[in-house]
Structure formats: structure tokens, C-alpha cells
């Protein structure tokens, strides 16, 4: 019961006062299955991209971290082709830095920060980490290309009116910006 009330509070806060460039919502009214979208940061190769994530909240949350993975392909040294993320707060101690004081908002903000500032010293994709460290221009070009191909919104007018919303897309109510300090 404590888990459910905490998750409701966290989701309410994420809907009324979301961090800049982040949205999160429930899938089919299931409190432990969530989707999120993170907008790529300005001055990064992910700028203008909208990246969808899947979040599964474990039964022991907040004593265990949520399981988060990218649904949108991304070219990044800390995110593999299956969408798994190498980030210390997504791992429980002693190897990880997850603490029950952290929440979904801090997890999503940390992922957004990792997108903008990769950690090539702890990669999931060694070849991309090497490219990031030693051939930054090639890394940036590849990351921008992947962002254009996989994360940029498509021109729906060209696709016609029959295009359906994918399960990773937010419901219409989540797409509308809410008034608040981040949207002024």
C-alpha cells in the first residue's frame, strides 16, 4: 500500500510539475508499468529528439530501483542496442547508488543528464565510448544521424490521417503542456 500511494504522489508531481523536457504516464492504468519521454538537450547531438522509455516499478520499490530502458534507439556509450542503461542510480547497493530517497523524477532527470554528458569510463557500448573519447566529431555525427532517424517527430501530414499512436506515445492529455514554472 505504501508503494502504491508513493507512486501516485510521484506521478501526480510529474504531471503537475514535470522537469523540463520530461513527461511520464501510466500504461493502461497500471501503477507499475509506466512510459516516459525525454527530450534531447540543446547543444547535444540529441537536440530535438524525443526519446521514449519504459519503466517497470518493482514490488519492493522504493527499496529497489525501477527498471528503465529506452524504447527509442539511441547512439550512446552508456545505452546498449536493447535500450538498457548503465547508470549507477539504476542499480541497488553495494554496486549501485540507488537509495529509497530517490524518485522517478530524479531517475528521469539523471537519464536526461547522462544523455547530455556520457560517461565513457563505464560504457555498455565500448566501441561508441572509444569513438566518444578519441573521435568526438564522428560520435557527434553518428548520434545526430540516429536522432534524426529514430527520435525526431515525423511529418504526420505526409503519412495520412490513418496513422495510429504507438504504445510508447503519451496519451493526448500528457502531450498538452501544463501551466507551471517550467512552461513560461
| Residue-wise pLDDT tens digits, 31-76 | 999 999 999 999 999 999 999 999 999 999 999 999 999 999 999 9
7 close to 61: Cβ distance less than 8 angstroms? yes
110 close to 103: Cβ distance less than 8 angstroms? no
**CA–CA separation, 139 and 115 (whole Å):** 13
**CA–CA separation, 146 and 62 (whole Å):** 34
Q: What is the reported pTM?
A: 0.84
Q: What is the mean pLDDT of residues 102-107?
A: 97
Q: Which of 86, 89, 129, 174 is catalytic?
A: 86
**CA–CA separation, 159 and 81 (whole Å):** 27
Q: What is the pLDDT of residues 127-149, one digit of tens each?
A: 999 999 999 999 999 999 999 99
Clarify whether 24 is annotated catalytic: no
Q: Which residues pair with residue 69 across a beta bridge?
A: 54, 84
Amino acid at each position: 500500500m505504501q508503494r502504491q500511494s508513493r507512486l501516485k504522489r510521484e506521478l501526480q508531481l510529474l504531471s503537475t510539475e514535470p522537469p523540463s523536457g520530461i513527461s511520464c504516464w501510466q500504461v493502461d492504468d497500471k501503477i507499475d508499468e509506466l512510459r516516459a519521454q525525454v527530450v534531447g538537450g540543446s547543444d547535444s547531438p540529441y537536440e530535438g529528439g524525443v526519446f521514449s522509455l519504459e519503466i517497470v516499478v518493482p514490488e519492493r520499490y522504493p527499496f529497489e530501483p525501477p527498471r528503465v530502458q529506452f524504447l527509442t534507439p539511441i547512439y550512446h556509450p552508456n545505452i546498449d542496442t536493447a535500450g538498457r542503461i548503465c547508470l549507477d542510480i539504476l542499480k541497488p547497493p553495494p554496486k549501485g547508488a540507488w537509495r529509497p530517497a530517490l524518485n522517478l523524477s530524479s531517475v528521469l532527470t539523471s537519464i536526461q543528464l547522462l544523455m547530455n554528458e556520457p560517461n565513457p569510463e563505464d560504457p555498455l557500448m565500448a566501441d561508441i565510448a572509444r569513438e566518444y573519447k578519441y573521435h568526438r566529431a564522428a560520435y557527434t555525427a553518428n548520434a545526430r544521424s540516429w536522432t534524426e532517424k529514430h527520435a525526431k517527430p515525423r511529418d504526420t501530414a505526409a503519412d495520412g490521417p490513418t496513422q495510429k499512436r504507438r504504445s510508447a506515445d503519451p496519451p493526448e492529455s500528457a502531450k498538452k503542456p501544463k501551466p507551471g514554472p517550467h512552461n513560461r
